[in-house]
Amino acid sequence: MAGVSTQVFTFNDEQTQMTEINFRRLGAIREVEGFRAHLASLKLDVPCDAELLHGPDSPLSWPLERHGIRISNRIVAQPMEGWDGTADGRPTENTLRRWRRFGQSGAKLIWGGEAVAVRHDGRANPNQLVAAEHTRSGLAQLRQALLVEHRKASGSDSGLLIGLQLTHSGRYSRPAAQNRPQPRILYHHPILDRRLGLPPDYPLLADGEIREIIGDFCRAAKMARDIGFDFVDIKHCHGYLGHEFLSAHTRDGNYGGSFENRTRFLREVVEGIRVAAPGLRIGVRVSVFDTIPFLPDPARSESGRLGPGIAEAWGSLLPYRWGFGVNKQNPTEMDLEEPAKFFTLLEQLDIRLVNVTAGSPYYNPHVQRPAFYPPSDGYQPPEDPLCGVARQISAARQLKAKLPNLIIIGSAYSYLQDFLPHVAQANVREGLVDAVGIGRMLLSYPEFLRDVLEGRRIDRKRICRTFSDCTTAPRKGLPSGCYPLDEFYRESAAAAELRRVKAKRKDA
Ligand SMILES: Cc1cc2nc3c(=O)[nH]c(=O)nc-3n(C[C@H](O)[C@H](O)[C@H](O)COP(=O)(O)O)c2cc1C
Ligand code: SF4
The CB-side HSE value for 453 (13 A sphere, CA atoms) comes to 22
Give CA–CA dist 366/229, Å, rounded. 32
Give CA–CA dist 339/492, Å, rounded. 42
Q: Could you tell me the distance, in angstroms and rounded to a whole number, from the CA of residue 365 to the centre of ligand 2?
A: 14
When the pLDDT of each residue in the chain is averaged and rounded to a whole number, the result is 94
Residue nearest to atom 14 of ligand 1 (CA): 80
Whether the ω angle into residue 56 lies within 30 degrees of 0, i.e. cis, is no
Amino acid at 175: P
Choose among 271, 86, 82, 251: nearest CA to 171.
Answer: 251
Choose among 413, 395, 507, 502: nearest CA to 452.
Answer: 413
- Tell me which DSSP letter residue 485 carries: T
Distances from the Cα of 446 to the Cα of 205, 386, 450, angstroms: 39, 22, 8
Give CA–CA dist 465/2, Å, rounded. 25
The model's pLDDT over 385-420, given as tens digits with 9 standing for 90+, comes to 999 999 999 999 999 999 999 999 999 999 999 999
The CB-side HSE value for 14 (13 A sphere, CA atoms) comes to 0
Q: Could you tell me the distance, in angstroms and rounded to a whole number, from the CA of residue 57 to the centre of ligand 1?
A: 29
Give CA–CA dist 438/107, Å, rounded. 9
pLDDT reading at 1 higher than 60: no
Name the helix (H) or strand (E) containing 103. helix 93-104
- Tell me which DSSP letter residue 402 carries: H
The model's pLDDT over 445-489, given as tens digits with 9 standing for 90+, comes to 999 999 999 999 999 999 999 999 999 999 888 999 999 999 999
The model's pLDDT over 30-42, given as tens digits with 9 standing for 90+, comes to 999 999 999 999 9
Ligand 1 pocket (Cβ < 6 Å) reads 78-81, 114-115, 165, 237, 285, 357, 369, 411-415, 438-441, 470-471, 480
How many other CB atoms are found less than 10 A from the CB of residue 429? Answer: 16
| Confidence at residue 402, expressed as pLDDT on a 0 to 100 scale | 98
| Confidence at residue 102, expressed as pLDDT on a 0 to 100 scale | 98
Instruction: Check: CB of residue 22 under 8 Å from CB of residue 41.
Output: no
